[in-house]
Amino acid sequence: MDTPRFGIPDRLAARMTMPEQHEYLRHTLSRRGALRAGTVTAGTLAGAGLLGGAGASAAQPQAPARTPDFLPGAHSGASPVDGSLVAPFGRHLAFGADPKTQMTVSWQVPLPVRKPFLRVGTRPWDLSRRIEAEVRALHTPALTAKLPAVDQYYLHVSLEHLRPDTTYYYGVGHTGFDPADARNYGTVGTFRTAPARPGSFTFTAFGDQGVSYDALANDAVILGQNPSFHLHAGDICYADSSGSGQSTDAYDARVWDQFLAQTESVAARVPWMVTTGNHDMEAWYSPNGYGGQNARWTLPAGGLDAEKSPGVYSFVYGNVGVVALDANDVSLEIKANTGYTDGAQTRWLEGRLKELRAHRDVDFLVVFFHHCAFSTTNAHASDGGVRDAWVPLFDKYRVDLVVNGHNHVYERTDALRGGQVARTVPVGESVSSTRDGIVYVTAGGAGKALYNFPAPDSYEGHEAHVDSVDSYHWTASGKVKEAVEWSRVRYTGFSFLAVEVTAGARPRLEVSALAESGERIDHFTITR
């Protein structure tokens, strides 16, 4: 007998796309959803611009009132406890489309609070500028008998008209908890805007983090690099442990509370720029499973529809143009969202790469997304959908570095053109992205359980290169075996990327891979 799980019969769910499942749930579970969702009123002002001009963050779309779904707006009622006893947590920063003048501060509270706000200023003793926060409440029903219903409250203030290359001090609070009070002063944080002109800086990157001691260790080493920003290539916290993007996936929303608390030590001072992995398709939140991401993050505008595709955006920092993509759209391995933009993302990508290549200050293009274009692990290997849709564009516009996650290891290719080795790049070597080709990096060792390779590890100080690795890639019909010559560095361990950027007459990217111990396992230089 086909027993319904979460309201959809198993055999029916297996034949339905994610949007079809959402529509089914809206019609069949409306009464139960209304009872569980509760009432949240909309209309609280978003964060106003700083230092002149209005800069309200983008309004979030209204969810259907009857669905157990994303609930936008602000909670107008009082907390059931004294606000002085409700401590904000999980602070995380994100750039706007212009990192020189825009920053969003986001955080969480465990209970509804009165009049949440952000204080900000250029001196730690002067936080007189007070801006009301936007509240995005997220209700998750009890999806199984073992999991309770969960209500989460995320708060956001988007700042505009900031001064370039300036350190700001900020604190978050609400009625009863003021960061300007002496007893709460330890909660005051800082951020720094991008410089007006290109210069030297560092950024870091990884994917597949989750909640673990190894994830925490990586965070600590990342903070030691003093990065200007961090790129997270998806599979952020693994509240959805199954990763297939279906409503039958195991899902525990409380894992997000753990993750944001874990990451706060870094993300409260380093802009944490995320994109969407397969474990981030949380099917209970429409649209496309991204309502939860919309509740928790405010990412740069200017990509596709921010509600439907929050992981698609770009920004320029110094002489580097950064492009974030949602590979769920083109994946041939995990198909819950395959084709959901109907080609719009790929068309936007080409237009954006063309614009960035024409940008007078941009030397380097860095693209990051989840599913791997080129990797050899026994778990996921390479996704042919990514190769077909995007690799030709990367070649056409001479992208300099591509960073992926998905496979829980570190792996790095030689310089590729058209998927073939154009130039070998041993550890410590220099490569010209315009002359030699593109280096692809899998940086999926951020904290989740590690995968393994079909060939021996080979990394700095422990080289064991082989000329060919037996692997495979995903196609519309499944796995296709392939023998590849491009797998240059392989490391089975927790790790991340640190990229030192130099501008000027001889711009370069000094790319290093660091283990969670801080030991370097790979390095190479990209020039133009």
Question: pLDDT by residue (tens digit) across 113-125?
Answer: 999 999 999 999 9
Helix (H, G, I), strand (E, B) or coil at 246: coil
d(C-alpha 513, C-alpha 493), whole Å: 11
d(C-alpha 170, C-alpha 160), whole Å: 14
Per-residue pLDDT at 10: 57
Per-residue pLDDT at 44: 30
With a pLDDT cut of 90, the percent of the chain lying above it is 83
Q: Which pLDDT band, with edges at 50, 70 and 90, does 365 fall under?
A: very high
pLDDT average, residue stretch 370-380: 98
Per-residue pLDDT at 80: 65
Per-residue pLDDT at 517: 96
Q: Which residue has the higher pLDDT, 137 or 39?
A: 137
Domain boundaries for CATH 2.60.40.380 within the chain? 38-190
Tokens representing 286 are: 């429409």
With a pLDDT cut of 70, the percent of the chain lying above it is 85
> Nearest 5°: CA angle at 402, between 400 and 403?
140
pLDDT average, residue stretch 485-498: 98
Per-residue pLDDT at 3: 38
Q: Which pLDDT band, with edges at 50, 70 and 90, does 6 fall under?
A: very low
Domain boundaries for CATH 3.60.21.10 within the chain? 197-527
Alpha-carbon 291 to chain mean position: 14
69 pLDDT more than 50: no
pLDDT average, residue stretch 66-82: 45
C-alpha distances in Å from residue 457, one per residue of 404, 405, 442, 464? 19, 18, 14, 7
Per-residue pLDDT at 19: 54
Q: Which pLDDT band, with edges at 50, 70 and 90, does 53 fall under?
A: very low
Which position has the token pair 């309201």? 7
Q: How many CB atoms lie within 10 A of CB 478?
A: 9
Q: Which pLDDT band, with edges at 50, 70 and 90, does 12 fall under?
A: low
Burial class, 155, CB count within 10 angstroms (exposed 0-12 / middle 13-18 / buried 19+): buried
474 pLDDT more than 90: yes
130 pLDDT more than 90: yes
Per-residue pLDDT at 278: 98
- Please, which residues bridge with residue 8 across strands? 5
d(C-alpha 184, C-alpha 336), whole Å: 45
d(C-alpha 342, C-alpha 19), whole Å: 13
d(C-alpha 372, C-alpha 255), whole Å: 25
d(C-alpha 238, C-alpha 134), whole Å: 26
179 pLDDT more than 60: yes
With beta carbons less than 8 A apart as the criterion, state whether 85 and 166 touch: no
What type of residue sits at position 55? G
38-190 domain in CATH 2.60.40.10? Answer: no
Architecture of domain 197-527: 4-Layer Sandwich (3.60)
Contacts of 520 by beta carbon, 8 Å cutoff, 6+ apart: 460, 512, 513, 514
d(C-alpha 498, C-alpha 399), whole Å: 18
Q: How many CB atoms lie within 10 A of CB 76?
A: 15
Q: Which pLDDT band, with edges at 50, 70 and 90, does 316 fall under?
A: very high
Per-residue pLDDT at 49: 32
